[in-house]
Chains A and B, each alone.
Chain A
Amino acid sequence: MDLELMINSFPKLLNAAGITLKLLSVSLIVGLLIGLFFAILRLNKNIFINRFAYGYSYVFRGTPLLVQIFIIYFGLGQIEYLRSTFLWIILKEPYWCAIIAFRFKYWSLHFRNLEICISNN
């Protein structure tokens, strides 16, 4: 264990932790919004919209995050040369929103059940 090295590299790591927190907060917020959007779509009675929202969460939950990052970072650069740091934020959020969408789905299922219960009474 090299204590000197640990102490020297600590500020840099702390800096990087700030970036991690920034990424986390941005992707959480954007993910929450998209998740809410897809959760509402998921409640739609139209089967195509419903299926689309379901497929969205299935695809993003079923593929590794690394693959998604690579597709977006390397793959999209191939089409439009849109390589910027801004892409980094977008790529994280689908994963989050997929998870959140799923949770919202359960919540919304609860709500729907409640509504059905209430209307029956």
Chain B
Amino acid sequence: MELLAFGNTGWGDELFIATLMTIAVSITAMIIGFFFALIFTPLKLSKNKFLNFIGNSYTTVIRGVPELLVIYLFFFGGTGAVMYVASIFGYNEYIEINAFITGAFAIGIISGAYSTEVFRGAIQSIDKGQFEAAKTLGLNKFGQFFKIILPQTLRLAIPNLSNVWQITLKDTSLISVTGLVEIMRQSYIAAGSTRDPLFFYSFAAVLYLLLTFLSMKIINRLEIKYSRGY
């Protein structure tokens, strides 16, 4: 237990900060993912073949490729790309991109692919009459979507979005390969310096379990809130 003490003697405070970092990365990634879903869901639902193809290839490629590969691609490939662009402008020093931004972006793209699928399914399962009713009310396109379709979509999407959230939360452990100090990285450091990997990795597992447990509690409340009237 003294290994977990706060302050200079233990790893408690470091792990606590790392947990906050994990939460921050997952929330950022989830928000980035929503932006991607906002762009790609209409593409997937569009009747235009070309737009449809773009939307489909995004979700298919990202979901068919291991997450770790995407992160490596963004972190190492991203650094290479930025340095290449900089070298055109005559800057040849080594540039390192912020691990938080690349990590959150990589995970965001992944979770965006999953959220796109979720939203597509949810919108498709809404009754056609609702779209027609929205039109008859004389609302413009945005009004139709945000006032009538979206609230109903959320009710259907939240249970699946909670799965996406869990996936995102667990995927953040993969960002540790880029050196961002979140739970996984911190327990790696702690395990290395104390030579007690079993304890620290088990503790990391407990922390992740705690996070998923707490987020499930919150999401269940949201689910109840958005299912009012059903």
Residue numbers of A with Cβ under 8 A of B are 58-59, 61-68, 70-71, 74-79
Task: Write out, one digit per residue, whether chain B residues 155-180 have a CB within 8 A of any chain A CB (1) or not (0).
Answer: 00000000000100011111010000
* Chain B residues whose C-beta falls within 8 Å of the C-beta of A75 in the assembled complex: 197-198, 201-202
Is the Cβ of A74 less than 8 Å from the Cβ of B173?
no
Is the Cβ of A59 less than 8 Å from the Cβ of B197?
no
Q: Report, nearest first, the 3 A-B pairs whose CB atoms are least far apart.
A: A75-B198, A64-B173, A74-B197
With A59-B209, A74-B191 known to touch, is A64 a contact of B171 (CB < 8 Å)? yes
Given contacts A58-B209, A75-B202, 10 further A-B contacts (CB under 8 A): A61-B166, A62-B212, A63-B170, A66-B176, A67-B173, A68-B205, A74-B198, A75-B198, A75-B201, A79-B198
Tell me the interface secondary structure of chain B in the complex.
helix
Size category of the B interface is 20 to 34
**In the complex, which of the residues A58, A64, A76, A78 contacts B184, with contact meaning CB atoms closer than 8 Å?**
A64
* Chain B residues whose C-beta falls within 8 Å of the C-beta of A68 in the assembled complex: 205
B6 CB–A CB distance under 8 Å? no
Instruction: Give the shortest distance, in Å, between B201 (CB) and chain A (any CB).
Output: 4
Is the Cβ of B191 less than 8 Å from the Cβ of A63?
no
Is the Cβ of A64 less than 8 Å from the Cβ of B208?
yes
**In the complex, which of the residues B173, B191, B208 contacts A62, with contact meaning CB atoms closer than 8 Å?**
B208
Instruction: Give the shortest distance, in Å, between A13 (CB) and chain B (any CB).
Output: 12
Instruction: Give the shortest distance, in Å, between B103 (CB) and chain A (any CB).
Output: 14
Is the Cβ of A78 less than 8 Å from the Cβ of B198?
yes
The number of residue pairs between A and B whose CB atoms lie closer than 8 Å in the complex comes to 57
B196 CB–A CB distance under 8 Å? yes
* Chain B residues whose C-beta falls within 8 Å of the C-beta of A58 in the assembled complex: 209
**In the complex, which of the residues B174, B198, B212, B213 contacts A66, with contact meaning CB atoms closer than 8 Å?**
B174
Is the Cβ of A66 less than 8 Å from the Cβ of B205?
no
Q: Give Cα A16 to B176, complex, Å.
A: 23
Is the Cβ of B209 less than 8 Å from the Cβ of A63?
yes
Is the Cβ of B197 less than 8 Å from the Cβ of A62?
no
Max chain B C-beta neighbours (<10 A), residue from A58, A62, A77 = A62
Is the Cβ of B184 less than 8 Å from the Cβ of A63?
no
B204 CB–A CB distance under 8 Å? yes
Residue contacts A-B, CB under 8 angstroms, 19 given: A59-B209, A62-B209, A63-B209, A64-B172, A64-B184, A64-B208, A66-B173, A66-B174, A66-B176, A66-B184, A67-B201, A67-B204, A67-B208, A71-B197, A71-B202, A71-B205, A75-B198, A77-B197, A78-B197
Q: Give Cα A75 to B200, complex, Å.
A: 9
Q: Give Cα A18 to B190, complex, Å.
A: 35
Is the Cβ of A67 less than 8 Å from the Cβ of B198?
no
